[in-house]
Every structure is written in C-alpha cells, then in structure tokens.
Amino acid sequence: MRPTVHDIAAAAGVSLATVDRVLNQRPGVRHVTREKVETAIRELGYIRDVAAANLAKGRTYPLVFILPASDNSFMHGLNAEIRQAILRSSAERTDIRTIEVSAFDPAALVSVLEGLSQEKRCGIAMVATDAPEVRDVVDRLVRAGFSIVTLVSDLTGSLRHHYAGIDNIAAGRTAARLLGRFLGARKGEIAVLAGSMLVRDHRERLEGFTSVIAEEFPDLAILPVLEGRDDPEVAHMLVADALSRNAGIVGVYSLGAGNRGLVRALKEKAVDRTLTVIAHELTVHTRAALIDHTIDAILNQDAGHEVRSAIRVLKAKADGLAVIEAQERIRLDIFLKDNLP
C-alpha cells in the first residue's frame, strides 16, 4: 500500500498542515521540523501524485502555441490538432491560446516572444525560425523561468527544454534512399523544393538527402534548391519553370510544404515523362497525388502526437517532473499508395 500524507505526519510527529507546507515548499516551517518531514518522506518512499494535487488546488497550465501564418496544409493540420487540445482543456487543466506570426520571419517571431516575456510566465510551444536573434530571446525567456518546446523545427544551440518533431536528417536520408532505389539504374538530375533554408528542419532534410545521394547514387545530380516559402503558388511557378527548362530531371524531392503547387506543376509539365517524386506530410492533397501516381511516397510526421507531446512536456516542466523520452519520440512514417491509413 502506498504511503500517504497521514503516514508522513505520524512518522514525523507533525500536523497534516505542516506536511502540506513542506510538500508545497511554503514558508512557516522551522528548519528542524522541515528536516523531520523530509526524512519521513524518504524513509517511507512517498511519491507525490502531482496531478491529484493540482486537481485538488484547481490549478491550470497556461500554454501558448506560436505557429507560422501561411497557406500550408500541414500547418492547417497542426492548428486543427491544437483546437482539439483546446476542447480537452477542462479535462487536462490547460489554458491554451495560439499566436500566428509571418512564416520564415525571425523579427516577427522575436517580437511575439518579447511580448510574452512581459506577461505572466507560461509554457511556450513554437515552430522555430533558426536565427541568432530568436535564440537569444528564447534563452532569456528560459532563464526567466518560462518553459519552451520547439515544435516541428528545432532551434540550434538554444536553452529550449525539448524538441517535439522527427529526426529531420534521418528523414532526408530516407527520402534519398527511396528515390535512388525507385529510380534504379536511371541517370539524371533531381529537383529539390524547399520552403526556406532559414528553418532548421528544411536544412537538415537537405543535409541528409544530399549525403546519401552523393554516397550511394553518384549518377544522380542535385540541382540548386528551389525555395518556395511553403506557398503553393510560388512552388507551382518554380517547379513548372524547372521542368520546362530541364529535360534531364528524373526525380523530385519536396522537403517542405507547398505541395498543392508541386502537384499542379507535375500534372501540367510532366505528362510526357516519368518522374519519381518523394514529398513530406500526408494531407488530403498529397493523399490524392499518391493514389493517382503523381507522388510515389510520402514521409509523414504525426501532428497530433507533436501537439500532445508538447503539452505533456510543458506540464511536466511546470511540475518539476522528468520527461519520459521514449513516450515523446516522434516517429517518421512512410506511406505508399498501398498502405494509406
């Protein structure tokens, strides 16, 4: 049977009120009495049920999600998962709000973070733009007692507490291996569509992709990266232009978003040739493109898992509890037409 606060009070020879003050680190307890209570806690092996204590106190966790504002199907999905978490707020004792900032805009992100620094401390989950000025304000917030989780894209060398996202270097390597194996003995050039090299997840995917192509598929040449800023219209224009100008393209790797534009360009400009196409994130648009053979494989991260993970970690940090790393590892899924969920 688990020991209770009554057992601690009896073992230490103090009142329940004194035990409560020690457990909640409140003043008003003499040093010698505090030591008696802490000794009883250790000897009895008492483990505090933080969740029950917070429920009894009616505590809520203020959380802020900072997301890029863009016409991006994956981010729309991430937003939808946050809205689902808001619906669960009463049961999970969270108070969640979202703030949107311009995509790939470090100054806009810094402005939002500096605004939060003037408010009551909260947990922050953010899709990071990897820039020195963002890192500086994140580090200041952490030192001031804010808990910060990066979501989807990490922040190099910062003091953030946790990253809720996939291993993007591994994702890029996986994309390269799939593309190379699908192409077999074919030679030619590979077009790469990114959002922006300002975000770490896109840089890491490109790093993993180029390393495997160079090591294992030397007959494939990677063309200069097209930065579509995750905008379907810009992506369409860039990919359509590349396909029109270069008949040697045999494969396409879309490592960011903007895939609606990619699919439209492929259907317009690649009707007379066979291309192998790997893209990221399973959305209604990429699902349809898998089914009709416009895209060959999709690498996917579970947005719902990322949101739930960020919430769990921020709550654990607020309570001073350890994070269960295995529970928070975000899996990379590979979807073909044949195994769509």
- H-run or E-run covering 253: strand 249-254
Q: Is pLDDT above 90 for 109? A: yes
pLDDT (average), residues 293-318: 96
Grade residue 166 by pLDDT with cuts at 50, 70 and 90: very high
Q: Tell me how far apart the alpha carbons of residues 341 and 339 are, in angstroms, rounded to a whole number.
A: 6
Distances (CA, A) of 317 to 116, 185, 312: 18, 51, 9
Under CATH, to which class is 57-164+303-330 assigned?
A: alpha beta
Q: Using one digit for the tens of pLDDT, what is the confidence trace for 222-276?
A: 999 999 999 999 999 999 999 999 999 999 999 999 999 999 999 999 888 899 9
Q: What are phi and psi for residue 63, nearest 5 degrees?
A: -130, 140
- H-run or E-run covering 80: helix 73-87
Handedness of CA 172, 178, 183, 184 (dihedral sign): positive
Domain at 5-48: CATH code? 1.10.260.40
Torsion angle of the four alpha carbons 107, 130, 287, 263, in this order, in degrees rounded to the nearest 10: 70
Domain at 168-301: CATH code? 3.40.50.2300
- pTM reported for the whole predicted model: 0.84
Q: Pinpoint the residues of the chain covered by CATH 3.40.50.2300.
A: 57-164+303-330, 168-301
pLDDT (average), residues 291-319: 96
What tokens does 110 get? 């810094």
pLDDT of residue 5: 82
pLDDT of residue 53: 60
Please say whether the beta carbons of 239 and 191 come within 8 A: yes
277: Cα separation from own chain's centroid: 24
Question: Mean pLDDT over all residues of the chain?
Answer: 93
Q: Tell me how far apart the alpha carbons of residues 336 and 290 are, in angstroms, rounded to a whole number.
A: 7
pLDDT of residue 49: 62
Q: Which of 58-67, 120-129, 153-162 has the lowest mean pLDDT?
A: 58-67
Grade residue 304 by pLDDT with cuts at 50, 70 and 90: very high
Q: Pinpoint the residues of the chain covered by CATH 1.10.260.40.
A: 5-48
Distances (CA, A) of 233 to 71, 227, 288, 328: 10, 12, 19, 35
Please say whether the beta carbons of 155 and 132 come within 8 A: no
For 32, residues 6+ apart whose C-beta sits below 8 A from its C-beta are: none
Q: Which of 248-257, 275-284, 321-330 has the lowest mean pLDDT?
A: 321-330
pLDDT of residue 2: 78
pLDDT of residue 48: 66
Q: Tell me how far apart the alpha carbons of residues 105 and 68 are, in angstroms, rounded to a whole number.
A: 9
Q: Tell me how far apart the alpha carbons of residues 48 and 41 are, in angstroms, rounded to a whole number.
A: 10
Count CA atoms within 13 Å of residue 61 on its CB side. 30
Q: Using one digit for the tens of pLDDT, what is the confidence trace for 207-225?
A: 999 999 999 999 999 999 9
Q: Which of 46-55, 135-144, 165-174, 241-250 has the lowest mean pLDDT?
A: 46-55
